[in-house]
Amino acid sequence: MLGLHSAAMAETYTFTPDDFTYKTVHDVAKIAPVVMDETGKPKTVFLKIPKGNILPPHGVEKDYRVFTVISGPVFWGDGDVVDPAKEKRLPAGSVIVVPPMKGHHWVAAREGDILMQGVVVPDKTFVPVIANKIAN
């Protein structure tokens, strides 16, 4: 039958961001683990920031973080002090790579609610377009 297997069809599992349990971080954002490592630390998360809120300047101590903007836009800034003049407006679909121990950043929800997915990357196994930018 045209190469179709008689084995049972694989079952997939679907979820929406609202299916997960969120906790508040920095008094303004909500974060929900999606995938945990063997020690119970989140490897993949959803991050929600309601319109009008700013996730204050904070840094990453260990491992890279890779965020994909699901809905936004996100207003992203680097530095220890929130300065709207230094923010980048990033639309849905944008990818943000946050290196460890490289200073602080903030996130502002200026035009609407923000939803991002974040992934912890323990090493620099990035595709060339990211690896080349990090190297410079």
Residue 1 has pLDDT above 60, yes or no: no
User: Which of these, 37, 59, 46, 40, lies nearest to 19 by C-alpha position?
Assistant: 46
pLDDT digits (tens, 9 = 90+) for 42-55: 999 999 999 999 99
Domain span including residue 122: 24-135
Specify the CATH number for the domain of residue 125. 2.60.120.10
Q: Is residue 93 part of a domain?
A: yes
- Cβ(64)–Cβ(100) below 8 Å: yes
Q: Is residue 51 part of a domain?
A: yes
Domains identified in the chain, total number: 1
Residue type, 97: V
- Helix (H) or strand (E) holding 54, with range, is strand 54-59
Residue, of 108 and 61, whose pLDDT is higher:
108
- Cβ(113)–Cβ(50) below 8 Å: yes
Q: Is residue 3 part of a domain?
A: no
Q: What local confidence, expressed as pLDDT, does residue 94 receive?
A: 98
Residue 89 has pLDDT above 50, yes or no: yes
The overall average pLDDT reported for the chain is 91
How many CA atoms are closer than 13 Å to the CA of 95, on its beta-carbon side? 10
pLDDT digits (tens, 9 = 90+) for 119-130: 998 766 788 888
pLDDT digits (tens, 9 = 90+) for 11-50: 999 999 999 999 999 999 999 999 999 999 999 999 999 9
How many CA atoms are closer than 13 Å to the CA of 108, on its beta-carbon side? 16
Q: Is residue 17 part of a domain?
A: no
Q: What is the DSSP letter of 72?
A: S
